[in-house]
Amino acid sequence: MLTLGINTASSSTSIALLKNGALLGENSWQSHNDEAEKLMPAIAELCEDLTAIDQVIVISGPGSFTGLRVGVTVANTIAYLNKCELYAVDTFDYWWAKEIPGENLLIFAGSKGVYVNKDGKTELTPLNEVKVEGPIFGDITEEQKKEIGAEFIQTEETFGQTLEKLAKNLKEPVKLVKPNYIKNPEITKPKKQCSI
């Protein structure tokens, strides 16, 4: 079984390919809201035959609008065209699968602050109200790390290594993954109407 994993919900975009649950290869790069240009070529380089994919796992957010919509759309499309199983894993389940037990998980939430996941609860918290005891880990900016002032633990585990663990404990497949954005996109109506 060939499994493709896609993560565009984090500050780094990552893809990985598993064969029968074992990591075959992966690629990761710093996201600059350019997933529309980079994601499909990177997937095609990692997996020469996209029709061979049997399963797609995508991190569904919360994440930024630009990256997440591309990653989820690509995952939905590949799964639909291949008629293969599709799985959504939220950002918190992805980070909790990493080997850093008992610490405080923080996830970037744009200008609103950070998502704090402690003791099984997730809350959107303004940065100046974050109160944690002990070290923190997750996907937050350097500025946020400084403002919070707690010790930050960096995980060395790659997306592919985490995907190997996630693939063993998947729930039910879905027909369509809906992205979970940090905030709703600000889409305005055009001021001028087009006439044809």
**Domain-embedded: residue 194:** no
Q: What is the number of structural domains in the chain? A: 2
Say whether both 112 and 162 belong to one domain. Answer: no
Domain-located, residue 53: yes
CATH of the domain at 52: 3.30.420.40
15 strand-pairing partners: 6, 27
What domain range includes position 129? 100-148
DSSP secondary structure code for residue 174 in this structure: -
The residues, any chain, with a CB within 8 Å of residue 2's CB and separated by 6 or more, are: 17, 18, 19, 47, 52, 53, 54, 55
Would residue 180 count as lying in a domain? Answer: no
pLDDT tens, per residue, the chain with 196 residues: 999 999 999 999 999 999 999 999 999 999 888 899 999 999 999 999 999 999 999 999 998 888 999 999 999 999 999 999 999 999 999 998 987 766 788 888 877 789 988 666 788 889 889 988 888 899 998 989 998 888 998 888 999 999 999 999 999 999 999 999 886 655 556 666 655 5
